[in-house]
Every structure is written in C-alpha cells, then in structure tokens.
Amino acid sequence: MVPLLLNHPDVSDFKLFLDNISYGFAVIDQTGLIVFANLTIKQILGLEDSRVHNYKTCNNREHGDFHAFLHQLISELHPHTRQINIRKRQFLAEGKPVESDQGVIAYTVTLHDVTQTVLKHKQNELIYQVSTALAEVTDLNHVLKIGLTQILQSLDIEGANIMLFDPVKNELVIRVSSVIDRDISKARRFRVGEGIAGKCAESLTPYSVRDIGESSDFSQRLPDDRGALLSIPIAAKGRLIGVLNINDSEPRYFTENEVQFLTVVANEIAIAVENSYLYEKLNRQVRQLAKIFWITSFSGSQSFSQRIQRLVRAIPNLLSAQGCCIYMLDKDTPDRLVLEYKYNAPATLPKSGPVAQFPIAQTVITQKTNITINQLTDSPLSESVKKYRMHNIIAVPILTQHQVRGVLYVFNKYSDSFTDEDKALLMITSHRIGTKLENVELIAKTESERDRLDRVIEKLREGVAVIDKQHRILVWNQYLEELTGLNSSDVVGQPAYRILYNKLRLKRLTNIVYGREDHTEEAIPIEEELSGKNREKIWVSTIHSHVFSSDGTIENTVIVLRNISQERELLHAKDEFVSMTTHELRTPLTAVKGYLSMLQHGDAGNLMPQQDQYVGKALRATDNLVNLVEELLYIVRIDEDRLKIMHETFDINATVTNVLEELATKSKDKKITCCFDSPGIVTIWADPEKTKRIITNLVDNAIK
C-alpha cells in the first residue's frame, strides 16, 4: 500500500520538495525495503534510482551502522535516534513509525550530516593553550609513526603501538602499530580503566605486567598472547592524550631506566599530538606547521647541537627571513651571552659578551617575552637593528621551567615586518628548543644520578637487595655476591622466595617480604643464619624498609644485610669469660661470707661493738658482691637462651611481703619506710623465683 501512495500523482510535488532538502529522507516498509529515498540519502548511501525500490537493508556491509539502526527501529516499533557511521561520515539518524488504523505501515528515516560538528567538537576538546603549544606536525599518523620509529630504534623490543584517547566514547583506540596483524586491523578499543592500558590512562601513571598471558588485567587476551607489556601515559599538563604500549615477546620486567626513557618519548609524542590537533584547527597555518614539524622532528642519531643547527638553518625559510642565530647564557657566568648557533647572521655579531652589551637580548631576558624591532621604531633598540644592517629583528626567549636560558634571533633585511603568526611560530619553536634542552639535561642528570647510586651500592660493605611489589629481585650488589656466592646476573629477576628461602634459608626475612609475618618496626634488625658459599653458615643482621606508592601500597622493599658472624663469636667469647669468671668468684665469695657470718655470730669469740660494726659492713658488701655475681650469671643465661621458666601457682602477696622483709635493713639505713597493705591471698601462675627477682629489683632501685 505504501508504494502505491508514494507513486500517486498528487504526491509528486511533495517528492520534488523532499529531493531538494539538505538532509536525507527515506521511507521504509515493514519488511525493511526502501520504498522511497530522496536525492540526498541516495548520495549518502551511494544508491542508483534503479536500485532504490529493490534495495534491502541487510545486504550491504558498507552501511552496517545504517542497517543496525533500521533493524532496531523495526524491532522496537517506536521512535529511535542514534549517531551512525556511513561510508566514513557521521550522521544523526532519526526514525519514526508511521501508523494507521491497521497499525504500523511504514517508517520514516532522516539522516543529518554531523561529520563537521563531531570533528569540531573533538578538536575543541583536544586543543588548549594554543600560545604555548608546539606546532610541530602536519599529519597525526606520521607523527605517531615517527614516535614508534624512535622507540624501536632506541630499545631492543619486539613491538609497540600507540593508542589515542577518544574523549567522546571514553575509549582508547590503537592508531599505529609496529606489528600489522588481524587483531590490529580490527582497531581494538579499550575503555578507560579497562585492562592494562586502560588503567594506565585512568591513573596517568606507567603500568606494566611481566606476562600478559598470566595477567587478569589484560582484558582482551587471545590464546597466543604472551610476553611483557608496559603502558606509558601520553599526557600534556595533566590531560590524557593516549597511551604508548611496549611489548616484548618474552616475559620480563621493564627497568626503571626504560620507563624513564619511554616517559620522555611519550612526552615528545604528547607534544607532537597536541601540535597535530592545533594544525587541524588552524588551517591557515598548514604550510608553516608542516615546516615546524620537519624542523623539530628530533629523531635519528644526531646530537642535540646538530638538531638545533638544523633548526636554525630552517627558521629563515619558515618566516621568509634573512638569517637566524641563538645566544645562550653561559652556565658558568650567567650574566654573559655566547653565540652558539647561527645561519646567515650578520657578520658584525659579537661571539660573546656581557648581557648589557646586547640591549635587545637584555630586554627579552628581563621581560621573558618576545619583541620585534625595526629601523623605524622610536626606541633605543632600533640602533641595534641599524647596527646589524637589518630592517627587522624579532627576538624570543628560550625558556626552561620559566627560566630564560637563551635568546633566539631572526633577522630580516627587507621592509616586510614580521606578522603575529610569525611571532607565534617563533615562540613555539623556542619553546620546543627549551623543552628539548630540558629533556636532554633531565636524561643526563637521571643517568648520572643512577650511575652514582649504582657505584655507591656496589661499593658498600653491606649487602643491599631491592625487591619489587611482584616479589622479584631488582638489585643484588657486589657484597651480596661475595657473601652468598650468588651472582647478580643469576639473581636479578628471580622470585625472592627462590633466593631468600630456597637458597639462603632466610625464613623470617622471606615471611616479612611476602607479608606472612608482621614486622612493622623496620629499624629493628632481624638476626638469622644463612647458607653462604660452600654451604657455610653465616649469621647476618637484616634491616628492611618499604617504599610506598602514592596509593599507599608497597612499591619496593629495600633490604640491607650485615655479616655479624664475627660479632657473635666475640659476644659468645665474652659470655664464656663472664660465665667462667663469675663461677670462679662464687667459691671464694661463699667462703668469705661464711667466715664473716661466723665472726658476727661469735663463733670465734665475742666481738667488741666497733669490731661487730666493721664485720657487719664487710658482710653486707660481700652480699652485694654475691648478688652482682648472681646477676651476671643470670644475664649470661638469658643471652645464651638457657634461662628456664618454671611455672607454678603461688601467692604474689606473700612474695611481696618477703621481699620487703629482706630489704628492711637497707630501707632502715636510708630512713625509708616501706609499707604494703596486703588484701589477702592472691595466687598467680608464674615462675616464683623470677617473679621475686623482678619485685626485688624494683623495690631495691626505689630504695636506692
């Protein structure tokens, strides 16, 4: 019935009107056949007039989104709106059922081209701070391929890919890859927070796994997927741009040096991607930005100086200028400028000199901004332009972390003045130089600090080991090699359990590393016996310290081992000497005490009062000496673990009363009164002798 109505003569004017509207319009019957399509929708779908009336919506893969939309519309029988992709263009599809007394007889579909709207929306979200962005690139895929080339040339790895963040769908999409296979061709997508790359994107921090074949975080793992994977965030000023993924075919842990290097590369890619988005937004600067990308594509084996010299040679062509030069502030003498790079620069330029000798550079350094001077400018700086026989000079600062490091000059001997776009491009170029200079210095400083730390660790006369959160050994210094007989090359990367317990028999330390034993006092040493070279038993003292990540989890565990075998031998010898000496002293002291007691009791005749006083003092002194010997023996038994605890039930109050009676004479001499209000019998389960010793020491110390 619908085709008959649409072919009715009275409908021809309306059909002509529909052919002239800017958006696509079509009528679909209940079976999914297109019974009418205006000219716009024919162009969108690539249909010919002869195919309109017999075209079914399920037989053309090119229109997959459109078919899915129609299928949903027909299945649900109610209005439906959806953004779809047809032949690589974005459309807003709206479908409505046409109802009669007999129910739904057809469906109307409109397609509005929103490709440009979507594109502009993406551009607006991705482009920010245009004044400080680096205009380096012309084609995004070229930039990403350059980035991959740098990585593959710099690291011995199997493969890499770069994902870009789609803020509209909150997804990561693989854009370029060093490996082309059936999976990459499908452009796998990952939700932010999903899988390894998704977690990296969500936290904006590097994330790695030793083997994706064993990791539950690798959400789209295939049966043959295996090897190590490292994800590095590509971000600019805290905003996610994408993720750089590095893959090795064999399971392993990526080193800190690799992570640091790849982070620097990811920052370069971030700058390049930002510049590519800026290029898409600013169509008028296509050629200029293309040149900037060529100039500042810092790939290959050239040194930083060689790359900057290339840049200096290219800038005049970029801005249609005569020449270019760069003055850098002397590191040793910060108030002095040195001519480092030049191309077609005036011959009268001084090679170096104090900043005050360069009025233009002095102004740029002081104000940290660009200036443009020509011969006609009513300013003292115009004399510098005349001095160099140029018509125009533009100077911009080279900044690193808001600190001026140098000045970039561009000279023009013609009357044409520099435009605002020239100034912006030159600021971008100088910013790029500053960023590269900062990265080079950062890499050099990092490598220097790492080398220095490695040398310090290797020279330590204590064993140092570092274990990561996966319980793999990262560091095993030279002293540990000598102590244990295990080479660093055989230990690093191995599970801590396999080395610490299976080979060295350090049970307590192993339990602490794996969290099986709570040992929160990190500064308290643990003494254990390890199995060293040739199964030699060595006593070591170990101290551990945890390194925590920002989320409070343990990132690494640092362990310091010290050989205390000699110390323990000395302590044992000391204990033996003390034990032997005290035993030797007990016999004569017992005899002295006995004879003194006999004298005091009159066994040798009555003593005169003064004699009795002297004997009493000697007896008390002997008692003190006997107590001291007993204390020494007691300490030796504790140190040698020979102290036995004999538990039994006894009255603690009776023990306290007995102690006070024994110390009554001492307290009386000190004119101290000791009182104890006993509540009756209180029984406890303990060692009576040890308990009495404790109470005696407490009361005796109080009396003293």
Model pLDDT for residues 482-536, shown as the tens digit of each residue:
888 888 888 888 998 888 888 888 888 888 888 777 655 556 788 888 887 777 7
Strand order in the sheet with 526-531: 473-476, 463-468, 554-563, 537-548, 526-531
Alpha-carbon distance 237 to 216, whole Å?
31
- So what's the pLDDT on residue 354? 92
**Residue 16 CB-half CA count within 13 A:** 6
pLDDT at position 58: 44
Domains and their CATH numbers in the chain: 2-113 (3.30.450.20), 122-283 (3.30.450.40), 312-420+437-443 (3.30.450.40), 460-563 (3.30.450.20), 644-704 (3.30.565.10)
**Token pair recorded at residue 668:** 């009386």
- Give the integer Cα–Cα distance in Å for 244 and 264: 11
Rounded Cα–Cα distance for residues 149 and 176 (Å): 11
| pLDDT of amino acid 380 | 65
Q: Half-sphere exposure of 353 toward its Cβ, with a 13 Å CA cutoff?
A: 9
Tokens of 555: 């990132």
Kindly indicate the confidence band of residue 416, based on its pLDDT and cuts at 50, 70 and 90.
low
The 8-class DSSP code of residue 380 comes to T
Neighbours of 68 (CB within 10 A): 14
Share of the chain above pLDDT 90, in %: 4
pLDDT tens profile 201-211: 989 999 888 88
Q: Is the pLDDT of residue 310 over 70?
A: yes
Q: Considering only 82-96, 141-155, 638-652, which range has the smallest mean pLDDT?
A: 141-155
Percent of the chain with pLDDT over 70: 76
pLDDT at 134: 34
Q: Where are the beta strands (DSSP E) in 70-169?
A: 80-86, 89-100, 103-113, 159-166
- Provide the 10 A C-beta neighbour count for residue 632: 17
pLDDT at 162 (0 to 100): 87
**Beta pairing class for 648-651 and 189-191:** unpaired
CB neighbourhood size of 247 (10 A): 20
Which of 49-58, 230-239, 353-362, 581-590 is predicted least confidently? 49-58
Mean pLDDT of 129-146: 52
The Cα 335–Cα 233 span in angstroms is 39
Output the pLDDT for position 1: 46
More confident residue, 47 or 399: 399
pLDDT band at 283 (very low <50, low <70, confident <90, very high): low
Q: Which residues, in sequence order, are bridge partners of residue 229?
A: 209, 247
**CA–CA distance, 135 with 289 (Å, rounded to integer):** 5
Between 666 and 135, where is the model more confident?
666
Question: Does pLDDT of 184 surpass 50?
Answer: no
Query: Residue 116, Cα to own-chain centre: how many angstroms?
Result: 38
Please state the rounded mean pLDDT for residues 243-258. 82
User: Can you list the positions of beta strands (E) in 364-452?
Assistant: 371-374, 392-400, 403-412
CA proximity to 462, closest of 441, 481, 442, 446: 481
- The pLDDT tens digits for 595-605 are 777 877 777 77
Question: How high is the pLDDT of residue 481?
Answer: 83
pLDDT tens-place string over residues 351-408: 899 988 888 888 888 888 888 877 655 566 766 666 767 778 888 999 887 788 899 9
Confidence class for position 62, pLDDT limits 50, 70, 90: low
What is the mean predicted confidence (pLDDT) over 531-555? 82
Say what the pLDDT of residue 641 is: 59
User: What whole-number distance in Å separates Cα of residue 446 and Cα of residue 427?
Assistant: 28
pLDDT at 206: 92
- Residue 262 above 90 pLDDT? no
At residue 280, the pLDDT reads 61
pLDDT band at 643 (very low <50, low <70, confident <90, very high): low
**Rounded CA gap, 84 and 92, in Å?**
6
Per DSSP, the residues of 277-325 read: HHHHH-GGGHHHHHHHHHHT---SS--HHHHHHHHHHHHHHHHT-SEEE
Between 310 and 377, where is the model more confident? 310
Average pLDDT, whole number, for the chain?
76
